[in-house]
Structure 1
Amino acid sequence: MAEISLFKRSIAELIGTYVLVFLGTGSVVTTVLLFQGWTPYPDNNFNVGIDIAAWLTIGMAFAIAIIAMIYAFGHISGTHINPAVSIALWATKRFPASDMVSYIVAQLIGASLASFTIVAILGQRAVGTGLGATAMFSGVNYGQAILCETIATFFLMLTIMGTAVDKRAPAGFAGLAIGLVVAADIIVVGNITGSSLNPARTFGPYLAEFLLGGSNLWWQFPIYIIGPIAGALLAAFLYDYVAQTKQG
């Protein structure tokens, strides 16, 4: 069977990331717009007092998007839809460098298009909600935020390694497992860092916010690069060590 071209696989990554960001961050935007009388906490326009029921809803929106895209495009591109995942698979010699670069560019474009689409549908009021951008919440410092994103992404990548990458895993369950661990991450750490786990998921809202007159949060972007990539790398290498069978 002929191999699917890198261009087509990159398109699949663009679409998959678009769906992830549109549905995931769109659920955040909708939550904030529905929240009656919300008042931002001082110095943090993104801490709007979302309660645990809302975080559960947001987590499930992200989970459903991920599950759907894995089953839609997993057999085409692998459905990375996350630069940290692509980098970890490259670092463990499962993915060529040229493919990794193309995937990451596609992921960033897809995430950005999704954020601009949300504004096109809802208008400037969507920018006022923060477009679901991730940020440190009240009382969280830079180091704590990086640690939080590292741990949460570690759980995600460990699940990816065990259910999607390792061919010994039972077939057909990867999408469900990966989606649900993302939902759990969001429920637990959403009110700490926004639970990005994904540099592209943060990049899209940041870019749209910045260009459309919203907040400038680029000073926090290193959190969502360092944390997710570190967590994904740690999980990938640790899984390979734990799962390696004896030779001879």
Structure 2
Amino acid sequence: MPTRTRRPERREEPLSRERVVEAAIELLDTAGEGGLTFRALAARLATGPGAIYWHVTGKDELLGAATDAVLSRTTTTDADPAPQEAIRALALGVFDAIDAHPWVGTQLSGAPPQSPMLRVFEHIGRQVQALGVPQTAQFTAASSLLSYILGVAGQNAANARQCPPDTDRTQFLDTVSEAWASLDPEEFAFTRNVAEQLRVHDDRAEFLAGIDLILTGITARPDPTDPAPS
């Protein structure tokens, strides 16, 4: 009889928390929050739900870990840029992260105090301190930047999710711009006036322009301990 050659056993990569979180991110990107179930995740990882529970206690913890993993990539820098540039880079990183993973914005909007959002707040706050903002104004400055970043990035992602996947951005903006231009000239004078700017605007450029406006206000704000001019 011919000798059978024994096939080598396939060695699977051991399951780890990192693998579970990365698989969850992939599932969230394709199926959204509603599609993230331990059954679906187990199928993706070719394992049983019980093995996943060894690494995370439930869906809430998994969502938090996935959000933290995405945001941690935006708060890591190799260089040591000037504070304003560091804030701009962080802001754009969060904007792009939420644009690529819209579910992150949803998670941040309802996140508890001890959450991935705190990581972003900490990095903003350190740069605000490096700008020399008075201690009494640091919380307001950092909070304003955080609110703007999350608000605009979240709204941008929400707008994208409301449009069909095959939406042509240029055609969409042309349609909205024409609708603005045809509004009542007395009731919507300003909106009509900027309708053409809407047509040609760039979301990321406008976002960074807003960051620059806030930074200008922060750096121009007088120190409350300085004596008032006579």
**TM-score, normalising length: structure 1:** 0.28
TM-score, normalising length: structure 2: 0.30
Bigger Cα Rg: 2
